[in-house]
Structure 1
Amino acid sequence: MRALLIGAGGFLGRHIRQVLETAGVTVQLPPSGDLNRCASAELQALVSSVDAVVNAAGRTAGSLPDLVQANVLLPARLVEAAAASGVRLVHLGSAAEYGAGTGAPVRESDPCQPLGSYGISKLAGTQLVVQAVATGQLRGTVLRVFNPLGAGMPAGTLPGRAVQQLQQARSHPQAELHFGPLGQRRDFLDARDVGRAVLHVLHTESPALLNVGLGETLSGRELVAALVELSGFRGRIVEDGDGSLRSGGVPFQQADVQLLRASGFAPAHTVHDALTALWSEAAPASALPA
């Protein structure tokens, strides 16, 4: 199988590429530059040259036009090109599409009420793919990814920021590390399992929309505590900062993963596996606890 992977340079794209190549998939990368700026004929030729397209690209922040360009217009162009070529499309959605929720695990059929521009733009991209599949124009699946963890996480995320602070505190083991409120509970999963889910739907007839999570939650406080244990840090964790605007309105979010499991997929990694991979890549071997 040949797959065009868009967004291979990003956090999830890196893990997806590794999983696909390990499984023997020939991964093709698009030419450098913004795919939204390439001519329709050029994009069509690119998509027609492969068996499947995996869209792991997108923006989590930026101006509203930037978010729409990356999270709505690019998926729209990929839907059009993949439908015309008969090529399977796997598009990565986001749990942010659901919004605040009700405190119970969310199912794919539950209503979506995203709280900000990011979630709204991601939902629009998802709806374009799902609608094209429902009307028979497209073979494809949206993987609505919850909270991926693993090596290479950016510092703009809570796990990435925690690792960065723990690294800086290595020479000051009794220091204080400051965070915003850490009580929110999220459904975290290993980024390698996101890659495995992509591989799974490339080879399986799957529903148009699948939640991708572990189906269990961990608080930010528990996550930071696990990283503290891995690092050997002995100082204090202080929650006195401002909360995240993007996640502050969502105190609890957990995936209902019944459809994913029914499709034959099961995760291969634990949250501890993901945190160990994150810390091991970021910290020198001498900093790892014995």
Structure 2
Amino acid sequence: MTRVLLLGAGGFLGGVIARELRSAGAEVQTISGDLTELGPADWKRHLGGVDAVVNAAGRTAGTLGELTRANVMLLAGVLDAVQEGGQRLIHLSSAAEYGRTAPGEASREDGPAQPLSPYGASKLAGTVLLDERVRSGQVDALALRLTNPIGAGMNPGSLPGRAARELRQAAAQGLEQVRFGPLGAYRDFVSARDVGRAVLHFLPGQAGTQARGVLNLGSGEARPVRDIVTELVRLSGYAGQIAEDAPGSPRSGDVPYQRADLTALKASGYTPTGTLADSLAELYAEQR
């Protein structure tokens, strides 16, 4: 039985990963409290008897100091710990590290990374640290560079989470209109379940255990954000008008197109199978 220390188990993806690993028979251990407060002795104690560490912890918003502490300094401490303990590390990084790409162009792991937000910059800093340790042979680690995970348990403040809630309410109340910001940006959406299954694939003793460095994890397809709302309209049976005249996200304007190149991922033996429709159905079902 593989023993895994899962960081960030209380979050959206952490919860999905925990369920996937446990259903496959892995023993999952977690840590509560502020992980950034842990020192070398703490990590050594928590890693005792563990085969792998999965880092799903971090922040998506906050001050630059908060983002650096959660997305860089925490990972640096984990890298030191697994270097000493010999465990395999699987870290969740982000496609926000790439920044802007030309429409129709797929982001490759060896391509330019020019993040346009403090969040993306902090995630990239952590990924660079990990990749350097891997290339120098100090750690056995893999960063999965995720696109836009969707599934049950999403933050209700995210566009999919908010749209699911508001469209269910609008259908129930017979509202004439639901307003969103512009929905024309293209994104690569990946099933949250595929993230959990990928983590399992890359654990010690599994098919992808030899993969190291950085791998993209997405669907490999760019779809308009509007598809999320369209599918949730279908699921809710909402018959009113969808307006796109609310203030939009600055990120949509900065990065109008995103798609991950999955060549390296598929070469490792893993191919995502989840669909956007299934992921949104899971998200919508939990609104009940």
> TM-score normalised by the shorter chain: which range applies?
over 0.9
Partner residue in 1 for 2:42:
42
**Residue equivalent to 1:144:** 145
SS of residue matched to 1:54: strand
**Matched length:** 282
Residue deviations 1:152-172, cap 9 Å, x none? 111221111101211221333
Deviation at 1:182, TM superposition (A): 0.3
TM-score by length of 2: 0.95
What's the counterpart of residue 19 of structure 1?
A: 20
Q: Output aligned runs, 1:1-290, within 5 Å.
A: 1-30=2-31, 32-103=32-103, 104-202=105-203, 203=206, 204-283=209-288
Native 8 Å contact 2:179 2:245 kept in 1: yes
CA contact (8 A) 2:188 2:223 kept: yes
Which stretch of structure 1 is more off in the superposition, 104-113 or 44-53? 44-53
CA-CA distance at 1:47 after TM superposition:
2.1
Contact 1:35–1:43 under 8 Å retained in 2: no
Contact 2:168 2:238 in 1 (8 A): no
Unaligned runs of 5+ in 1: 284-290
Q: Deviation digits for residues 232-258 of structure 1, max 9, x if unmatched?
A: 000111011111123431000000001
Instruction: Render the CA deviation track for 1:115-137: whole Å, top value 9, x for unaligned.
Output: 01000000011111111111000
CA spacing shift, 1:58–1:247, aligned 2, 3 Å: farther
Cα deviations across residues 169-212 of structure 1 (Å, max 9, x unaligned)? 13333421111110001010110000011111112211311000
Q: Secondary structure at the match of 2:250?
A: coil
Deviations for 1:93-117, whole angstroms, at most 9, x for unmatched residues? Answer: 0010000112201110111000010
Letter in 2 for 1:229: R
Rounded to whole Å, the distance in 1 between the matches of 2:153 and 2:38 is: 29
Does structure 1 conserve the Cα–Cα contact (< 8 Å) formed by 2:97 and 2:120? Answer: yes
In structure 2, how many angstroms separate the alpha carbons of the residues matched to 1:160 and 1:93?
21
**2:149 alignment partner, SS class:** strand
Alpha-carbon distance between aligned partners in 2 of 1:134 and 1:100, rounded to the nearest angstrom: 26
Aligned equivalents of 1:8, 1:175: Cα separation in 2: 39
CA distance in 2, matches of 1:153, 1:179: 18
Residues of 2 paired with 1:247 and 1:131: CA distance?
31
Question: SS state of the match for residue 148, structure 1?
Answer: strand
Q: Say if 2:171 and 2:239, in contact at 8 Å, map to a contact too.
A: no
2:183 is matched by which residue type in structure 1? L
Structure 1: 4+ residue segments shifted above 2 A: 170-175, 245-248
Matched residues in 2 for 1:163 and 1:122: separation?
28
Give the superposition deviation at 1:48. 3.5
Which consecutive unaligned segments of at least 5 residues does structure 2 have? none
Alpha-carbon distance in structure 2 between the residues aligned to 1:110 and 1:156: 31
> 2:186, 2:240 → 1: CA distance?
24
Question: Distance in 2 between the 1:91 and 1:156 partners?
Answer: 24
The two structures, once aligned, show a CA RMSD in angstroms of: 1.1
Cα distance in 2 for residues equivalent to 1:36 and 1:222: 38
What is the CA–CA distance in structure 2 between the aligned matches of 1:16 and 1:265, rounded to whole Å? 16
Say if 2:187 and 2:259, in contact at 8 Å, map to a contact too: yes
Distance in 2 between residues matched to 1:129 and 1:51, nearest whole Å: 18
Partner secondary structure for residue 195 of structure 2: helix
Render the CA deviation track for 1:207-243: whole Å, top value 9, x for unaligned. 3110000100211112110110011000111011111
